[in-house]
Amino acid sequence: MPETTSAPCAPEDVRRIACIGAGVIGGGWVAHFLARGYDVTAWDPAADAEDKLRRLVAAAWPALEQIGLAEGATQDRLTIAPTLAEAVADADFVQESAPEKLELKRSLLAELAAATRPGVVIASSTSGYPMTDMQTAAEDAGRLVVGHPFNPPYLIPLVEVVGGEQTDPEAVAWASRFYDVAGKSVITMDRELPGFIANRLQEALWREALHMVANGEASVEDIDASITEGPGLRWAFMGPCLTFALAGGEGGMAHMLDHFGPSLKSPWTRLEAPELDRELRDAMVDGCREAAGDRTYADLVAARDQGVIDVLRATGRLGSTR
């Protein structure tokens, strides 16, 4: 039974955001919210978290300047809180990005729900757990939602928003509106689905890729090139459905399905995930190391960020009102 949420402010009036967990995803959220002009308070239990976080934000900043900062946006508006309670005390919105462990998420969300002002919406960055399973230990669970971003959250627009059984639908609506105001592209789901939408899609592709590598049918390089030199060039601005509709020529999706429908029965993908044994693991690790060549992690991140910016600009998604 959903509890009723009465958010203390409208999505448009959010000023202070608490980011709980400051790893790759949590830190990416911090960078995004700072760039959009919010005050951000972060908390992370790791001893070296502050140092790492400030480096992540500083590394992201040139990219964010290129996209365009909101008025008043500055890295100086980041505060590191010594405790979880202090981090969320004044927050108008809380983004949780702890490691992907169900028990940890469950107890952390309970702790957050207890420490955060009544009605403030708390979103989890979980990449797969249903909120129904994560909110079981929390009181006031009606304001707990999933707000699942993509890496890096300061550049990739997508956020998937969905509630659990105990979540107040108003909290879902509030979160969706808030993310929209905060410059994200929002998909609001009306039901829980393990992995949500985008991860299920990329996970299907990923499983097939792992099978191919496991069977020696394709190398990591082949797999990456087969996407970046092929379908990936279209998917940056036109999704798989509309892309396949165009493959049907002037007959569109109808022709495509009527013509190629039978090939769905062809043995073109495998079904269950492969055993992730040592051999497969190492093949993937080595293949990626080879693909990276002389480039450091920072080089690759910078290249990825620049690439996304360029693609966003090239496809007309920079400088729009959204």
Name which of residues 100 to 119 contact a second copy (CB under 8 A).
100
Contact segment (CB under 8 A) with a second copy among 59-67, 79-87, 139-147, 185-193 equals 185-193
Paired with 162 in beta bridges are: 146
* CA atoms of 165 and 179, how far apart (whole Å): 21
Residue 308, interface with a second copy (CB under 8 A)?
yes
Residue 154, interface with a second copy (CB under 8 A)?
no
Tell the smallest beta-carbon distance from residue 320 to a second copy (Å): 12
- Residue ranges at the known binding site: 21-26
Q: Please report, as residue ranges, which positions from 23 to 52 form the binding site for a second copy (by CB under 8 A).
A: 23-24
Nearer of residues 60 and 88 to a second copy, judged by Cβ: 60
Paired with 80 in beta bridges are: 42
Q: Please report, as residue ranges, which positions from 245 to 284 form the binding site for a second copy (by CB under 8 A).
A: 245-247, 249-250, 252-254, 257-261, 263-269, 271-273, 276, 281, 284
The distance between the two most distant Cα atoms of the chain, rounded to a whole number of Å, is: 62
Exactly one of 191, 294, 319, 320 binds a second copy (CB under 8 A); that residue is 191
Residue 137, interface with a second copy (CB under 8 A)?
no
Tell the smallest beta-carbon distance from residue 75 to a second copy (Å): 20
* CA atoms of 150 and 304, how far apart (whole Å): 13
* CA atoms of 129 and 192, how far apart (whole Å): 9
Structure tokens at 190: 């009306």
Alpha carbon 228 to its chain's center: 21
* CA atoms of 135 and 82, how far apart (whole Å): 25
DSSP code at position 167: S
Tell the smallest beta-carbon distance from residue 174 to a second copy (Å): 20
- Residue ranges at the known binding site for NAD(+): 21-26
Which segments within the chain are labelled E, that is strand?
16-20, 39-43, 78-80, 93-96, 121-124, 144-149, 158-163, 185-188
Contact segment (CB under 8 A) with a second copy among 34-42, 58-66, 75-83, 213-221 equals 213-221
Nearer of residues 89 and 218 to a second copy, judged by Cβ: 218
